[in-house]
Amino acid sequence: RALAKEVINRCKLIHPTKLVEVEQLLFYLQNRRDTNLPSETTPSGPQKPISDELEQPSIDSQISEIASLNDIDDYAEMLYENIPEKIKGSALILQLARNPDNLSEIIQKESVLNVLTRVYKEEWNQSIELATNIVYIFFCFSSFTDFHPLVSQYRIGAQTMTIIEAEMKKYDQWMEETAREQKKKPRDTRANITIDNKYKVLIRKQEQFLRVAFYLLLNLAEDLKVELKMRNKTIISHLIHALDR
């Protein structure tokens, strides 16, 4: 981050709000391989920045480990363990996926993609951090048009729509519960503050997921048929609901 700030300070053409993009670009350049990927596996077509101004999803446990492609099968094995291990394993795979040079190799790991998809579909409601990590991994693939068939094959878009709808309902329940509690103790301002703080953390984590999820759907909507399916599944109402938060 210090290097990114220095770049922005020295180059007046880069606006300070672009700190995240500069930081991620520097990370990409520092970890870029010297050799090019084979032409048949190199993503082609319109390419988007891997960040799209997205923040790195936060996780409960600090991941200081540097992920290695050689260990990706071990990270996938973590997805069969308890929730903290699942979060760590998905975070390490995400670390790899955020480097575009790795995507063509990750796509060869069918077992890894299968377990990511299974956990995303069956266990997303056990941890919003876990769901965020996994949707972020597939967002990285969705940033390249060539990988859209992969994302569609695993029906990530449809599952993401399902989770978005569930999270919107959960948010409404939180707000209703907050309103009820505040009515019970209208004079106890400290109690109200505690309730607000409790939900602030939950809402912040939820919004991280929603932000990545909507970006993934936006990428997939390059296909007009996919866009129509999203519209038929009331994506517009979800977007309006998100704006009202």
Cα 141 to Cα 143: distance, rounded to the nearest angstrom: 5
24 in a structural domain? no
113 in a structural domain? yes
- Nearest by Cα to 134 from 143, 147, 124, 144: 124
Does 80 or 6 have the greater pLDDT score? 80
User: What secondary structure letter does DSSP report for 245?
Assistant: -
Task: Round the CA-based radius of gyration of the chain to a whole number and report it.
Answer: 20
Q: What's the domain count of the chain?
A: 1
Can you tell me whether residue 47 is helix, strand or coil? Answer: strand
- H helices present in the chain, as ranges: 2-10, 19-31, 72-78, 83-97, 100-106, 110-122, 128-142, 148-153, 156-184, 189-220, 224-232, 235-243
232 in a structural domain? yes
16 in a structural domain? no
Identity at 221, one-letter amino acid code: A
50 in a structural domain? yes
26 in a structural domain? no
- Nearest by Cα to 102 from 92, 114, 117, 88: 92
What is the biggest distance separating any 2 CA atoms in the chain, rounded to whole angstroms? 68
Query: For 149-168, what is each residue's pLDDT tens digit?
Result: 999 999 999 999 999 999 99
Strand partners, 47: 144
- The region of weakest confidence among 100-114, 171-185, 188-202, 227-241 is 188-202
11 in a structural domain? no
Encoded tokens for 112: 């890894």
Contact, 51 vs 21, CB < 8 A? Answer: yes
Can you tell me whether residue 144 is helix, strand or coil? Answer: strand
Query: For 107-156, what is each residue's pLDDT tens digit?
Result: 999 999 999 999 999 999 999 999 999 999 999 999 999 999 999 999 99
Structural domain span for residue 205: 32-243
**Rounded (10°) angle between helices 156-184 and 224-232:** 30
CB atoms within 10 A of CB 56: 16
Can you tell me whether residue 230 is helix, strand or coil? Answer: helix
Query: For 32-86, what is each residue's pLDDT tens digit?
Result: 544 344 444 445 444 444 444 454 444 444 577 899 999 999 999 999 999 999 9
201 in a structural domain? yes
